[in-house]
Structure 1
Amino acid sequence: MKSMEHAQRTSLARFPGWWPVALAAGMLAGCGGGGGDAASTEVAAAAATEQAAAVAAVESDAIVTVNPEAALPDKCTRPNRTNDTIPKLMECVTYSEVRKHQQALQDIANANNGTRASGTPGFDASARYAVKVFRDAGYDVRRQYFQFRTFEEVSDTVLQVVAPNARDVPNNILAYSPSGEVTAAVTALPFQPTDDTPGCEASDFNGFPRGHIALVGRGNCTFALKATNAQAAGAVGVIIANNIEGEINGTLGADFRGRIPVTSVTQEEGNTLAGLSGLRMRIKAETKMENVSTSNVIAESRKGDPDQVVMVGAHLDSVPEGPGINDNGSGVAAILETAKQLGKVHTRNKLRFALWGGEESGLVGATYYVTTLEPWRRDRIALYLNFDMIGSPNHGFFIYDGDNSDNVGAGPGPEGSAEIEKAFEGFYERRGIAFRGTDFDGRSDYGPFIAAGIPSGGLFTGAEGIKTEEEAGLWGGTAGQAYDPCYHQACDTFRNVNAYAFNVNLHSVAATTLRFAKDPTPPGAGRAEAAGIARAGSSATLLRQGDKFIR
């Protein structure tokens, strides 16, 4: 999951908690006809009072302290216990109980070749476990099945200079590249800054010699589009050169149906190759793709307003290389226990929990869910909360940047995303915890939701990105090391956790879920219906499809 190409900022809010009341007052003042309508004023006042009460309930979470080692209190097991306030909910969503869910996922991986990847028995067992937890808590549960294409690099891709001076060239095959072996002359298109959109237009290949390999710079459109244009012009292979330092971890997307191999090189290597005359190269790629069936797990409360659905999600699958207990057993476990403890609560808004399949293959499950929903059902989703990797051992505290307040990286989320961000900020502020923003860059399951114009937000503690000295000063841990040194590896096990960070965040998951479930005017509520039009999508520039870059 998530990289650390994130925007960074600290909280500057001096008065946490004022914003929902002010926002509600502003919205209500602008509703209806002209002033002077006594009935409208009374309704507005009542709604504002209800909103203020909801805010007060949220603020009261500051007085709750939780011992990470504490067992589930006896009062939380009483048959008549209803966790209808945030303090009561936080008493019963305990670290010890959440860790039991992670242990169950670890046990499942242990019994299934060390993995819970989509399309494997380990994933199916994980889904069955989640279904049971949700059903036992009183939710209506279903598994939504779909197929997707898997990609495997069967053997290391070979890229060689044949002439003028033979040598091997380090490269990274793009996911969903076809197999192929070809030796041919190389023709380079102009790189940036000569061309800001190299290979993005069919006309960029005017005069391209058929039967050559195309060397194309990265930039401003998808790798798939560059490869498609190159193939149409007669290229027999494509090499994408990075336009920044480092390697490309890229994908052509599961829908790519090209016939020529596509690999990538660093910016430095690309510049070197482009400067050679009489260049001939060899590409040998052996890849495998197949269609696999997997599922999403969807659980919905039986009560609550169906026109205002608060949706909470996390991906259930791991990578094939490991059990995925932080990525993303942490988000899954927090959601399962939150749902369990909210099972008896009759919330104002309908709650819908989703555990996604196929995230590690490119957000496949979440994308399938959003794109196959009828428009009127999509418009009933008031907001989406995403929790992916929330217990990283060398953690940071990151919140998705709903308003793009730093003007760095991807743009803001859809309207209402800033409110979600502020709710998470308030949770951290009341505990004196510093936080930073992280971009909506398309690397986790919020991607299809913000593309559909649904307000979104969530938490993240870091993946393969490197912790800075400043961040180590804020949060402890080790500067110069990855937030999760076991990211996408076999060592992402039950032991791969920071208890403090995970404990804080699992309670933020619970508190924020209930806060929006009780909110009379959650972000995005009724926007599409009131406007009579479909929601506009996000202005965020999605750079990724899950873990891999698409452009």
Structure 2
Amino acid sequence: MYRKTMAVMLTAGLILSPVSFSANAASSTSNNPSDHAFDNKVIKKIKVDNMYDNIALLSKQPRVAGTEGEYEAVQYIKNQFEEYGYDTELQPFTMYDWDPGVSTLSIEGGDFTGDTRSFYASANESVTSQLEFVGLASPEEVSEDVKGKIALIERGQYTFYEKIENVLEKGAIGVVMYNAEGQSGNNFGSVYLGQDIPAIALTREDGLELVERLQNKEITATLSVENANFVAKTSYNVIAKKEPHPNKDNGQIVTVGAHHDSVPNGPGANDDASGVAATLELARILAKTPTDTELRFVTFGAEERGLLGSYHYADTLSDEEIENSVAHFQLDMVGSKDAGDLIMFTPDGEKNLVTDIGASAGARISEVVDYGQLGRSDHVPFFEKGIPSALFIHAPFEPWYHSPEDTLDKISKEKLQNVAEIVGASVYQIARPDTPALENSNVAPSPADYDFDYRPL
């Protein structure tokens, strides 16, 4: 999770001000017929089958950043934007993948046959010592007994960084971690900067076998990691731009985004082919719609690797582009029939222009959308640049989040339609040619009273 505490700063010269658009007004529905008339210019054009078909196509295979699967998705997205008439570019950036090399765990006596995999950024080293089981490696569980030994740790409850730091502080020379209850495989784990230690992952079954054996006698083991290293790969952002009407250009920029990459071994139908599909559909219907605002539709690469694509995009923005950017709408996991209700998350848990207008649009179209606090998606780099931004997502997450079961059959057309309508109406509220308008009661939407929601994930 990538969070910073910098306050949301509205850009200088912002025409649509949340000061004039009060989020604390008592009204939660719109009685202004013109509001619905303007909304209908967008939402009546939305075709949910377009979104569903795009999810079906994108989720045929994993789209892991830096792989052929991602590149094929990127080419498809680019072609779609271009068919709609957008000036579209691929923005490549370098990321570093992890080659786990060769790792082994040899037990004295040679009768352990478990499968091993090195942690991301593990040190290349071979160490021999006794195994010491430290449970979840909480500060209370890790004692001086681990000094000079290889720590055997159960995954869960604490971060990888915290677990490794706790045993390092007590003098451990290696880490063996087994998977948490309900989790399969051994493809997990990361060593962080400054934690120079060999670390490997085991399946839960193999780890529990070692725990059981340690109850009967001490075990001496040799932990070895060899030839593990970083490999440079290329991921991409796809950027589509629509210039405003030349006679009505107010200099503002609104961005709608989603991430196109998926986790390994996952088709990523909801995470985040659903967000990409909604982004493409909004781009389609707004392509020929007159606006006084520049619209940008961006799909980001390597979100699952730490928001790498969106950080790269944000870092390439000029000072002028940042100043002119008045809103960013991030669509992530917006279609699962098994997830909770729609919510708008901001990194600092504060309302901003995007949540104000999103709540109002929700009140007009279906129901008020509440807000909460969460980073972990591509709205964060925009927030850190001072651009009002919010993540539109359903929470709590579905049970198969980040799993091979994130498939097309779990997608709800009703949820897709609802999110596309709310975000589409919100974007058009800012970009339509009669804005700046919030001070003009003839075209300003009725504000909505919406609340902070301590929504679990």
| Same fold per superposition (TM over 0.5) | yes
Name which of 488, 492, 505 aligns with 2:403.
488
Greater alpha carbon shift after TM alignment, 361-370 vs 169-178: 169-178
* Residue 500 of structure 1, CA deviation: 1.5
- Alignment of 1:512 with 2:409, yes or no, is no
Say how many residue pairs are matched.
Answer: 406
Inter-CA distance 159–139: structure 2 relative to 1 (3 Å threshold): same
Query: Counterpart of 1:421 in structure 2: which amino acid?
Result: T
State the SS of the aligned residue for 1:327. Answer: helix
**Contact conserved, 1:239 with 1:262, CA < 8 A, in 2?**
yes
Inter-CA distance 25–343: structure 2 relative to 1 (3 Å threshold): closer
Name which of 230, 234, 240 aligns with 1:299.
240
1:260 corresponding residue in structure 2: 198
**Contact conserved, 2:105 with 2:116, CA < 8 A, in 1?**
yes
- Alignment of 1:420 with 2:362, yes or no, is no
* Residue 151 of structure 1, CA deviation: 3.2
Question: What fraction of aligned residue pairs are identical, expressed as a percent?
Answer: 25
Query: Is there any run of 5+ residues in structure 2 with no aligned partner, and where?
Result: 2-15, 24-29, 439-456
* Residue 24 of structure 1, CA deviation: 0.4
1:60 corresponding residue in structure 2: 35
Name which of 301, 307, 325 aligns with 1:363.
307
Query: Counterpart of 2:311 in structure 1: which amino acid?
Result: T
- Alignment of 1:315 with 2:256, yes or no, is no
**Contact conserved, 1:309 with 1:381, CA < 8 A, in 2?**
yes
Inter-CA distance 364–487: structure 2 relative to 1 (3 Å threshold): same
Highest relative contact order (Cα 8 Å, sep 6+), 1 or 2?
2
**Contact conserved, 2:97 with 2:232, CA < 8 A, in 1?**
yes
* Residue 506 of structure 1, CA deviation: 2.0
Question: How far, CA to CA, are the matches of 1:92 and 1:257 in structure 2?
Answer: 54
Name which of 269, 292, 298 aligns with 1:348.
292
State the SS of the aligned residue for 2:291. Answer: coil
State the SS of the aligned residue for 2:277. Answer: helix
State the SS of the aligned residue for 1:461. Answer: strand
Name which of 31, 45, 51 aligns with 1:92.
45
* Residue 189 of structure 1, CA deviation: 9.7
Query: Counterpart of 1:425 in structure 2: which amino acid?
Result: A
Name which of 444, 454, 461 aligns with 2:387.
454
State the SS of the aligned residue for 1:23. Answer: coil
Question: How far, CA to CA, are the matches of 2:181 and 2:323 in structure 1?
Answer: 41
**Contact conserved, 1:213 with 1:236, CA < 8 A, in 2?**
yes
Question: How far, CA to CA, are the matches of 1:504 and 1:339 in structure 2?
Answer: 16
Inter-CA distance 302–456: structure 2 relative to 1 (3 Å threshold): same
State the SS of the aligned residue for 2:20. Answer: helix
State the SS of the aligned residue for 2:338. Answer: coil
Name which of 174, 182, 185 aligns with 1:237.
174
**Contact conserved, 1:176 with 1:256, CA < 8 A, in 2?**
no
Q: How does 1:99-498 map to 2 (within 5 A)?
A: 99-106=52-59, 109=60, 114-151=61-98, 174-178=119-123, 181-185=126-130, 212-213=149-150, 223=160, 236-238=173-175, 252=190, 258=196, 260-261=198-199, 283=223, 289-303=230-244, 304-306=249-251, 308-402=252-346, 412-413=348-349, 417=352, 419-433=353-367, 437=371, 439-442=373-376, 444-462=377-395, 465=397, 482=399, 485=400, 487-489=402-404, 492-493=407-408, 495-498=409-412
**Contact conserved, 1:317 with 1:359, CA < 8 A, in 2?**
yes
Deviations 1:51-92 (CA, angstroms, capped at 9, x unpaired): xxxx8889834x8xxxxxxxxxxxxxxxxxxxxx32111111
**Contact conserved, 1:186 with 1:214, CA < 8 A, in 2?**
yes
Inter-CA distance 342–22: structure 2 relative to 1 (3 Å threshold): closer
Question: How far, CA to CA, are the matches of 1:256 and 1:250 in structure 2?
Answer: 19
Deviations 1:379-427 (CA, angstroms, capped at 9, x unpaired): 433222111111113132231333xxxxxxxx624x653x423433334
TM-score, with length taken from structure 1 = 0.58
Question: How far, CA to CA, are the matches of 1:276 and 1:382 in structure 2?
Answer: 64
**Contact conserved, 2:343 with 2:395, CA < 8 A, in 1?**
no
Inter-CA distance 378–229: structure 2 relative to 1 (3 Å threshold): farther
Inter-CA distance 143–256: structure 2 relative to 1 (3 Å threshold): farther
CA RMSD of aligned residues (A): 5.0
